[in-house]
Amino acid sequence: MTNNQTRSDQGASGEGVDPLRLDLQLCFALYGASNRVTRLYRPLLAPLGLTYPQYLVMLVLWERAPRSVGDLGQALDLDSGTLTPLLKRMETQGLVGRARDPRDERRVIVSLTEKGAALRGPAGAVPGQLVCRLGGDLGDLAALRTALQALNRRLDAADGALP
Amino acid sequence: MTNNQTRSDQGASGEGVDPLRLDLQLCFALYGASNRVTRLYRPLLAPLGLTYPQYLVMLVLWERAPRSVGDLGQALDLDSGTLTPLLKRMETQGLVGRARDPRDERRVIVSLTEKGAALRGPAGAVPGQLVCRLGGDLGDLAALRTALQALNRRLDAADGALP
DNA sequence: GCATTTTGTATTGCACACAATATAATAGCT
DNA sequence: AGCTATTATATTGTGTGCAATACAAAATGC
């Protein structure tokens, strides 16, 4: 905190917005927010034996399982190079099962074990704890979510464009 | 894209906000946005020989250099375990210099080499390219920046609280 | 029926991110 | 001075994140 406020820091609205400084501040804010959230979740997830990305995988699986690796990757916006070792660690912990789809031997189907499904209960308390720690207004967070989802749509559109 | 819209997705405002689903959606949105931004920068920074975190380090150094490792870590919200190998790679590339502070031998001072300082010119075009790719309204981005900065202040406050 | 292309995962290599620990140097206290 | 506590960085180990590549199974073309 308390840095990159050199020069005058033109306001959030109006027409005199400098794209370069805005980009710089947005990069820092987004990058920092993501790291901070991961850090804040860490102590809450450690008792469950989960890292933050593993927690996100479980959230997706709790919504619907079993699913293929590719399906998971699409939901989480991660590729197989990231998911494969992550899922193997979760398999070692007995949270998920991995097996080839007999109907298409190229696919690997990820399923919830009983232990993995049972973890949903204790994990249900985590978001509450976090929101409690954060305090403040929930409306702010809802607005932020909406803004980030809009950004993500723009980022997806920008990704497949010129390359 | 086009996922996590299960069930009805209660709106951005109003009072019937479910903290659990909000948390879930916010996590996905923030995590995904951070990854997407890194991906989008990658091809723009590759010609400069920089990764995204290295680019952030250079942004900080272009604002003010030389600085100590701890100073950099505070500005970027990263610890030495992350910065040390990152800075060593940048030193190998000839972008920065690392030297002990003669006035306090515990400190390592990171300075810009001529090559590192010269990179500021070409790098100046990067934010413009990105904003161009993103398109749309700049006001949105300014509002998002402000919202993220507010979130970061809350996250910082929540971090040092109960542990 | 066989060769080619496409599709879905896995593997490998490199670069973060951080907790835990180690190391070394300054600062404080008596 | 001598001892202890604090401070600043480095090291180590684990876990992502992604590009590039490899590989195997299915779909397609002839």
Specify the residue for token string 């996100």: A56
Among A8-22, A114-128, A130-144, B143-157, the range scoring the smallest mean pLDDT is: A8-22
B interface mutation test: which of A2, A4, A15, A23 has the most B CBs within 10 A?
A23
What's the pLDDT tens digit per position in A8-53? 444 444 445 566 677 788 999 999 999 999 999 999 999 999 999 9
In angstroms, the CA B24 to CA A145 distance is 10
B20 CB-near residues (< 8 Å, 6+ apart): A124, A127, A128
The structural domains of chain A, with segments of one domain joined by +, span 19-154
Compute how many other C-beta atoms are within 10 angstroms of the C-beta atom of residue B75.
Answer: 21
Q: How many CA atoms lie within 13 A of A91 on its CB side?
A: 13
**Residue B49, SS3?**
coil
* A131: nearest Cα among A55, A41, A60: A41
Q: How confident is the model at residue A136 (pLDDT cuts 50, 70, 90)?
A: confident
Please name the fold of domain A19-154. Arc Repressor Mutant, subunit A (1.10.10)
Distance B108 CA to D9 C1' (A): 7
From residues 110-139 of B, list those within 7 angstroms of strand C by Cβ.
none
Q: How confident is the model at residue B160 (pLDDT cuts 50, 70, 90)?
A: low
Answer for B70: CB within 7 Å of strand D.
Answer: yes
What's the pLDDT tens digit per position in B24-69? 889 999 999 999 999 999 999 999 999 999 999 999 999 998 999 9
In angstroms, the CA A11 to CA B150 distance is 15
> For the residues A81-90, what does the mean pLDDT come to?
94
Q: How confident is the model at residue B17 (pLDDT cuts 50, 70, 90)?
A: low
Is the minimum CB–CB distance between B20 and chain A shorter than 8 Å?
Answer: yes
Specify the residue for token string 């070792």: A85
| pLDDT of amino acid A29 | 94
Distance A89 CA to D15 C1' (A): 10
- The amino acid that residue B3 corresponds to is N
Arch. (CATH architecture) of B19-123: Orthogonal Bundle (1.10)
Question: What residues are paired with B110 via a beta bridge?
Answer: B67, B98
